[in-house]
C-alpha cells in the first residue's frame, strides 16, 4: 500500500509541470519557466495583464508585442491557457502564413 502511495505521489509530482497554467493567474516566475519566454517578454505580458486580464488568445496576441502565432502555439503546447482555453487551431490556421 505504501509503495502505491509513493508511486502515486511521484507520478503527480512529475505531471505537475505539464498541467495547464493560465496566463491571467500565472506568476512572473511561472511564466519565466516556460521555453521561449525570457524576462523582457514576461514583463510585457505582466504589464499588459495588469491593465486588463486577457479575454482570449486573440486579445493576448494583439496586446503583447512579440506574441505571434508561432510563439502562441509553442506556449499553448507547453500548457499555457487563456481563460482556461488552449490556443484554438482555427486561430492558428488563420494567422500562420501558408507555404
Three-class secondary structure assignment of the chain = CHHHHHHHHHHHHHHHHHCCEECCCCCHHHHHCCCCCCHHHHHHHHHHHHHCCCCCHHHHHHHCCCCCHHHHHHHHHCCEEECCECCCHHHHHHHCCCC
Residue 13 has pLDDT above 60, yes or no: no
pLDDT tens digits, residue range 70-82?
Answer: 999 999 999 999 9
- Identify whether 41 is part of a domain: yes
Q: In this structure, what CATH number is given to the domain that contains residue 76?
A: 1.10.150.320
- Identify whether 8 is part of a domain: no
How many domains is the chain built from?
Answer: 1
- Identify whether 99 is part of a domain: no
Residue, of 83 and 11, whose pLDDT is higher = 83
pLDDT tens digits, residue range 17-71?
Answer: 456 899 999 999 999 999 989 999 999 999 999 999 999 999 999 999 999 999 9
User: pLDDT at position 34, please?
Assistant: 95
User: pLDDT at position 45, please?
Assistant: 97
- Identify whether 60 is part of a domain: yes
Expressed as residue numbers, the domain containing 73 is 26-84
Amino acid at each position: 500500500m505504501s509503495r502505491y502511495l509513493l508511486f502515486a505521489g511521484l507520478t503527480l509530482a512529475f505531471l505537475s509541470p505539464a498541467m495547464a497554467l493560465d496566463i491571467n493567474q500565472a506568476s512572473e516566475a511561472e511564466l519565466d519557466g516556460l521555453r521561449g519566454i525570457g524576462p523582457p517578454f514576461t514583463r510585457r505580458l505582466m504589464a499588459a495583464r495588469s491593465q486588463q486580464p486577457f479575454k482570449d488568445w486573440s486579445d493576448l496576441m494583439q496586446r503583447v508585442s512579440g506574441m505571434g502565432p508561432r510563439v502562441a502555439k509553442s506556449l499553448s503546447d507547453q500548457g499555457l491557457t487563456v481563460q482556461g482555453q488552449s490556443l484554438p487551431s482555427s486561430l492558428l490556421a488563420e494567422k500562420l502564413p501558408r507555404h
